Copies of this chain bind each other. A is one copy, B any other.
Amino acid sequence: MKKVRIGMIGSGYIGRCHAIAYAQAATVFALKGEIVREMLAEVNPQLAQEKAQAFGFTRATGDWRELVSDPQIDVVDICAPNFLHKEMALEAIRHGKHVYSEKPLALSVADAEAMTRAAQQAGVKTLVGFNYMKNPTSQLAKEIIARGEIGKVVHFYGTHNEDYLANPATPRDWHCQQALAGLGALGDLAAHIVNMAHYLVGGITEVSGDMQTVITERPDPQALDRLLPVENEDQASALLRFSNGAHGVIETSRIACGSKMGLTYVVTGTKGTLRYTQERMAELALYLHDDEAGRQGFKTILTGPAHPDYANFCVSAGHGIGFNDQKTVEIRDLINGVAADDPMWPDFAEGLQVSKVLEAIAVSAKERRWINV
C-alpha cells in the first residue's frame, strides 16, 4: 500500500488533535494509503523531539523549513499559528508537497489567493481543516438537504460563538493582534460556520455586516497592570444572500458567555427544517412539514451506523463520537486523496472562498454597506 508520509508543523492545541487522529485513523478506517508519521517541526529541537515522541512521529526538527524541503515528506500538515500559514504553505508547495492546512487558510484574501494559485500551478493537493463538516451528523444534514427532504432551502441561520475571551481580565494574546490573527472572531471562529453554510446551502454572493470590539483593551501578559489595545472584533453579524436565492444570517463571538462550542445552524426549507448545535454533536433535529396533522414536530435523530462514516467508529447508534473523531474523518479524506486521488474537500479554493466572505463582512461592517463577495 502506498505510503503517505506526513510532516506536521506545530504541536499545540490543534496539533494534538491531528496527532490523535493520525494515531487512530488506520484502525478506524480501511485507508487506501499507509499513514507514516515521518517528521514533526516545532519552534526548537527539544520541544520538537519531545512532541514527536509523544505523538508517534519518527523524526523531529526545530526548523520548519527543513521539514517542508525534506524529500521523505509527502504531505505538509500546517498546525502552526495563523500568520505563518502563507509562508509555510508556499514553501511546501515550492517543494512539491501536498498541503494540509488548518483554518483560517490565511490572514487575508490576497494571501489566500496566492496560496491557492500556487497550489493549482504546482498541481499539489490541498485540504483545509474545517473538521466540523466531517461530523457524521452534519454529513447527515447535507444528505437530507441534497435529497430534497426539506425542499428548497430558503433560509440559513448559523453561529460560531465561544466565550474564551469573555473575561476582560484575560490578557491580550495573538488572537487580538491583527498582525498575528488578522480578523478576530470572524477569522478564528466564523470561518467554520461560513464553510458549513457553503457545504449545506451553497455560495454566498452578498453580505451586509456589522462588528464590534467590545473589550477594547486587555492586560499585557508581560505586565498585567498595563493595558494593550485589542485590534480586532469580538463579535460580528452579517446578513447573507446565497447564489441559489436563499437568505441568511451568520453571527460570531468570542465573548458569548456560556457558548463553549457554539457552532449552530438552522436550515429552513420549503418543506422542512434542520436544527443543530455542535454542543450536542450526536443529534440532528428534523422537522417535515408534510407529516400527518397532529403528529408534526422536530425529530431528534441520534447519529448511528445508518449515517455517513459513523459505523467505522461504532456499530451501535447513539454511542457517540467526539471532537477528535471528526478530525479522523478528515484525515481519512487526506490519505485517500493523496494515495488514491479520491476527491478532497474543502481544498484551498474553498479556504479562499471562506476568506472572501469573511473579508467582505469586515469591509461591509467598516463601510456600512452591502458588499458583493
Contact = CB atoms under 8 A, between A and B. Distances in A.
Interface of A: 13, 16-17, 19-20, 22-24, 26-28, 30, 54-56, 140, 150, 154-155, 157, 162-164, 166-168, 208-210, 212, 214, 235, 237-239, 241, 247-249, 251, 253, 255-261, 268-273, 278-283, 286-289, 291, 293-302, 304, 306-307, 313-325, 368-370
A329 to B, nearest CB: 12
A131 B325 CA distance: 18
B289 A299 contact: no
A270 B256 CA distance: 8
Given A20-B28, A208-B210, A289-B167, A323 B323 contact: no
Main secondary structure of the interface of A (DSSP, over half): mixed
Contacts of A167: 289
17 contacts: A19-B27, A20-B27, A208-B210, A208-B368, A257-B269, A257-B288, A258-B287, A260-B316, A260-B318, A278-B320, A280-B282, A293-B306, A294-B307, A297-B299, A298-B299, A319-B322, A319-B323
Contacts of A23: 23-24, 26-27
Nearest to A269: B257
A9 B323 CA distance: 29
Contacts of A256: 155, 268, 273
A27 B316 CA distance: 25
Contacts of A283: 280
A319 B369 contact: no
Nearest to A249: B237
A261 B316 contact: yes
A16 B315 CA distance: 10
Given A20-B28, A280-B280, A297-B302, 13 more contacts: A13-B316, A23-B24, A154-B255, A237-B247, A249-B249, A257-B269, A258-B287, A261-B319, A278-B318, A279-B282, A279-B302, A297-B299, A321-B322
A235 B247 contact: yes
A251 B249 contact: yes
Given A210-B247, A289-B257, A306 B294 contact: yes
B302 A253 contact: no
A257 B273 contact: yes
A188 B240 CA distance: 23
Nearest to A214: B154
A105 B212 CA distance: 33
A313 B22 CA distance: 14
Contacts of A209: 239
A79 B298 CA distance: 32
